[in-house]
């Protein structure tokens, strides 16, 4: 009995030390990325290439998902609002839900699954096949050449993807509400225009997505860099990226929402 | 192997290294003159690759000094280390080619990153290196299209792109067919002779080591246990060297892992007595 308790305590202690160690390593890693971010200005081509892979190639999934989320919001919103006789408020409901919460959170979750996991797997495999070592031995710092461009590409891409997600969602809501159900088009847009505040809603949503971009991309590049250089190691690092990103996004969303609204 | 007046190009003094609590290298001493091709031999896990990592500054020794061309590698800061590495090439065991780049871009990589040469000069240099490794015409191929032997040759062309003073080869012959192996061996020797590059080759391959190297060192349990010229090695009576040269399972180096349980126990035959 006592021995089981001691073993569990030891495991807890070990886990805590590991978590703290990893957070410390991640912080030093972030600092190192910032210090090696000169290529952002001197060689923008490196970042643009990564924006293509992380951002442009995510456009389809982000835009299609945005459209469907907007359509679902249109349907669910209408069936609820019509009970209270305020179906005209559908435009504001769709826009506010998307701009404040669903847009930043869902776009970040999709980005973590689509681009974050790809970054981790790519960096992890580069490590496993000694490509990062080979680069360092050729006097090229892998943090500056591989990690920093991906990190900044993620931070630039996610807010833009979020904005596109929102736009597609608003059109999805419009399609269901106005075209399919037959609500007044003017009411949809004017209600939205009245309810949405540029600073309060649009900017705050964008700020959220910048925070999510930093978190998701840092987790993705860190897990790749820290991956055990084996097939199983890269696979579990990729899983960790998706799981940790999802948890961090949702927890961060709660904290940011509490501060912002 | 060295004149008293001659300064060694590589001088490793009393180096010790451990991963955590596990000692890998204990008190290693090596002196290598400029322009020589050295083979370091030993069983798997004896610390050969770690020695290369110390020389390239990828790891720092816990004790001792690693001096290359008069510079203390173990004391270098980040900038000094990267400057030092521009005069060094390393061939990795499996080539470590960049999979997202073509053959041409792989070889051009160190030139583009470390020099300000115009693109047409880089093109000429890459073509020369490709021709030197016998792979003219493969420049547009993706690395996935290359065979193991071709990939190793591309990696060799990339490692020598900046005409290094020091070349490190990590198991250059592993997993190659006899023809690729012969070509790589020939290239290593040619590079060493033509450019006067000092080279350290870590390998299991006794046949090619004795054929190519000016001097051979044998490592076991983190220390250098024997050394000599290829002729001295072949005629050596040292039981360690004999075992390596003959590839015998019995000898001072134990082939079998020192198991703590008995064979009878492994097969469940001693349970009655337990």
pLDDT along chain B (274 residues), means of 10: 66 90 88 92 83 92 92 91 92 91 95 93 94 90 91 92 92 85 87 88 86 89 86 83 76 69 81 52
The domain tally of chain A equals 2
User: What is the largest distance, in Å, between two alpha-carbon atoms of chain A?
Assistant: 71
Residues A182 and A228 in one domain: yes
Full residue range of the structural domain in which residue A161 is found: 44-260
Residues contacting A255, CB < 8 A, separation 6+:
none
Report pLDDT digits (tens) over B146-178.
988 899 999 999 999 998 999 999 999 888 888
Of B86, B92, B114, the CB nearest to A134: B92
Residues A153 and A184 in one domain: yes
Residues A24 and A141 in one domain: no
Residues A15 and A55 in one domain: no
Q: Considering the domain B10-236 in this protein, what is its CATH number?
A: 3.40.50.300
Of A125, A146, A151, A128, the closest CA to residue A214 belongs to A151
Burial label for A207, CB within 10 Å (0-12, 13-18, 19+), is middle
Q: Residue A134 and residue B90: Cβ atoms within 8 Å?
A: yes
Mean pLDDT of A192-196: 94
pLDDT at B274: 44
Taking each helix axis from N to C end, the angle separating A148-174 and A103-111, rounded to the nearest 10 degrees, works out to 130
Of A148, A39, A131, the closest CA to residue B109 belongs to A131
Of A124, A137, A151, A159, the closest CA to residue A50 belongs to A151
Residues A103 and A146 in one domain: yes
Give the dihedral sign, CA A48/A53/A59/A62: negative
* Chain A residue with Cα closest to B107: A138
Phi, psi dihedrals of residue B211, rounded to the nearest 5°: -75, -40
Contact assessment for residue A26 and residue A222, using Cβ atoms and an 8 Å cutoff: yes
Q: β-pairing, B22-32 with B10-19?
A: antiparallel
Contact assessment for residue B32 and residue B200, using Cβ atoms and an 8 Å cutoff: yes
Domain residue spans in chain B? Answer: 10-236
Residues A125 and A4 in one domain: no
Q: Which two tokens stand for residue A202?
A: 């649009």
Q: d(Cα A3, Cα A21) in Å, to the nearest integer?
A: 27
Residues A101 and A161 in one domain: yes
Q: Compute CA distances A161 → A158, B72, B121, B269, whole Å.
A: 5, 49, 41, 66
Residues A79 and A140 in one domain: yes
Interface of A with B in 121-150 (CB under 8 A): 125-126, 129-131, 133-141, 145
Residues A27 and A48 in one domain: no
Interface of B with A in 165-224 (CB under 8 A): none
Task: Give me the DSSP letters along A133-176.
Answer: HHHHHTT--HIIIIIHHHHHHHHHHHHHHHHHHHHHHHHHHHII
Residues A29 and A53 in one domain: no
Q: What is the ipTM of this complex?
A: 0.84
Residues A10 and A50 in one domain: no
Q: Which two tokens stand for residue B53?
A: 């990592």
* pTM of this prediction exceeds 0.90: no
Q: Which two tokens stand for residue A241?
A: 């990226």
Any CB–CB contact under 8 A between B56 and chain A?
yes
Residues A3 and A129 in one domain: no
Residue found under tokens 């009411």:
A187
Report pLDDT digits (tens) over A19-75.
999 999 999 999 999 999 988 888 899 999 999 999 999 999 999 999 999 999 999
Residue found under tokens 């006097």:
A139
Contact assessment for residue B121 and residue B67, using Cβ atoms and an 8 Å cutoff: no
């Amino acid at each position: 009995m006592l021995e089981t308790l001691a073993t569990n305590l030891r495991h807890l202690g070990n886990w805590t030390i590991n978590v703290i160690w990893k957070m410390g390593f991640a912080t030093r890693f972030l600092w190192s990325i910032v210090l090696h971010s000169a290529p952002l200005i001197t060689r923008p081509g490196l970042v643009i290439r990564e924006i293509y892979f992380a951002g442009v190639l995510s456009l389809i999934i982000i835009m299609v998902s945005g459209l469907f989320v907007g359509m679902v919001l249109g349907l669910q919103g209408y069936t609820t609002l019509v009970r209270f006789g305020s179906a005209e408020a559908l435009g504001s409901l769709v826009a506010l839900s998307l701009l404040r919460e669903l847009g930043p959170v869902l776009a970040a979750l999709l980005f973590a699954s689509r681009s974050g996991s790809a970054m981790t797997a790519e960096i992890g495999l580069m490590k496993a096949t000694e490509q990062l070592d080979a680069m360092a031995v050729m006097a090229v710092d892998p943090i500056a050449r591989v990690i920093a461009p991906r990190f900044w590409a993620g931070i630039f891409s996610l807010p833009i993807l979020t904005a596109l997600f929102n736009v597609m969602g608003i059109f999805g809501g419009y399609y269901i509400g106005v075209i399919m159900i037959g609500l007044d088009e003017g009411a949809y847009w004017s209600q939205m225009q009245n309810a949405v505040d540029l600073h309060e809603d649009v900017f705050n949503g964008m700020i959220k997505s910048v925070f999510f971009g930093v978190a998701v991309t840092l987790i993705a590049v860190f897990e790749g860099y820290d991956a055990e250089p084996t097939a199983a190691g890269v696979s579990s690092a990729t899983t960790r990226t998706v799981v940790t990103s999802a948890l961090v996004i949702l927890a961060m969303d709660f904290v940011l929402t509490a501060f912002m609204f | 192997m060295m004149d008293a007046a001659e300064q060694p190009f590589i001088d490793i003094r009393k180096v010790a290294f451990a991963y955590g609590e596990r000692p890998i290298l204990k008190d290693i001493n090596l002196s290598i003159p400029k322009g020589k091709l050295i083979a370091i031999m030993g069983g798997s896990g004896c610390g050969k690759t770690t020695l290369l990592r110390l020389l390239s500054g990828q790891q720092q020794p816990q004790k001792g000094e690693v001096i290359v061309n008069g510079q203390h590698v173990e004391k270098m800061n980040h900038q000094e280390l990267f400057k030092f590495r521009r005069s060094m090439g390393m061939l990795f065991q499996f080539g470590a080619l960049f999979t997202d780049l073509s053959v041409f871009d792989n070889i051009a990589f160190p030139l583009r990153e470390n020099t300000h040469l115009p693109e047409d000069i880089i093109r000429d240099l890459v073509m020369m290196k490709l021709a030197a490794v016998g792979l003219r015409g493969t420049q547009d191929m993706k690395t996935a299209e290359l065979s193991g032997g071709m990939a190793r040759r591309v990696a060799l062309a990339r490692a020598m792109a900046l005409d290094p003073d020091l070349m490190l080869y990590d198991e250059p012959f592993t997993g190659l067919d006899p023809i690729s192996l012969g070509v790589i061996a020939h290239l290593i020797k040619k590079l060493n002779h033509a450019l006067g590059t000092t080279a350290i080759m870590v390998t299991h391959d006794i046949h090619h080591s004795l054929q190519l190297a000016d001097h051979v060192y044998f490592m076991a349990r983190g220390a250098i246990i024997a050394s000599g010229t290829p002729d001295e090695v072949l005629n050596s009576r040292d039981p360690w060297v004999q075992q390596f040269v003959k590839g015998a399972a019995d000898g001072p180096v134990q082939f079998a892992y020192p198991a703590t349980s008995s064979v009878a126990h492994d097969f469940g035959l001693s349970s009655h007595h337990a």
